[in-house]
Amino acid sequence: MLTAQWLYGLTGCVVVALGLRAALLHPSLLQRIVAINVMGSGVFLVLIAVAYRGPGVAPDPVPHALVLTGIVVAVSATALALALVRRLRAERNDG
C-alpha cells in the first residue's frame, strides 16, 4: 500500500478509537451524539484511504459511493437523535 494510504488510514482508525472512547465515557447526550459522528468520520476516512490508487490514477469509485451513502445515513440518524433530545428536554421542563 502507498504511504498516503497508510497515513490517512491510520488516522482514520485513531479517530474511530477517539470517537468510541468519547461515546462510551461522556455522560452528556449531546457529546455522545457528536462522538458517534466523529466515529463515522473516522470510518469514512479509512474508506477514502482505501480508494486511493496512486497519483494520477482514478480512485476506486466503490468506497466513495459507500462514504456518500454513509454520510447521508449519519445525517439522518443525527437528526433523529437531536429531535429526541429536544423532546426529552421539553418533557423534562414540563414535568
Q: Are 19 and 42 in contact (CB under 8 A)?
A: yes
Fill in the per-residue mask, 35 to 74: x = in contact with another protein (CB under 8 A), - = not in contact: -x--xx-xx--xx--x-----------xx--x--xx--x-
By CB under 8 A, residue 29 contacts another protein: yes
Q: What is the largest CA-CA distance in the chain?
A: 61
Sign of the Cα pseudo-torsion (46, 52, 53, 54, in order): negative
By CB under 8 A, residue 31 contacts another protein: no
Q: Which is nearer to another protein, 8 or 56 (CB)?
A: 8
When binding is defined by CB under 8 A, the residue of 7, 14, 68, 88 that contacts another protein is: 88
**Residue of 42, 45, 30, 44 lying closest to 78 (CA atoms):** 30
What whole-number distance in Å separates Cα of residue 21 and Cα of residue 35?
8
Cα–chain center distance at 48: 12
By CB under 8 A, residue 18 contacts another protein: no
Where do contacts with another protein occur on this chain (CB under 8 A)? 9, 16, 19-20, 23, 29, 32-33, 36, 39-40, 42-43, 46-47, 50, 62-63, 66, 69-70, 73, 76-77, 80-81, 84-85, 87-88, 91-92, 95
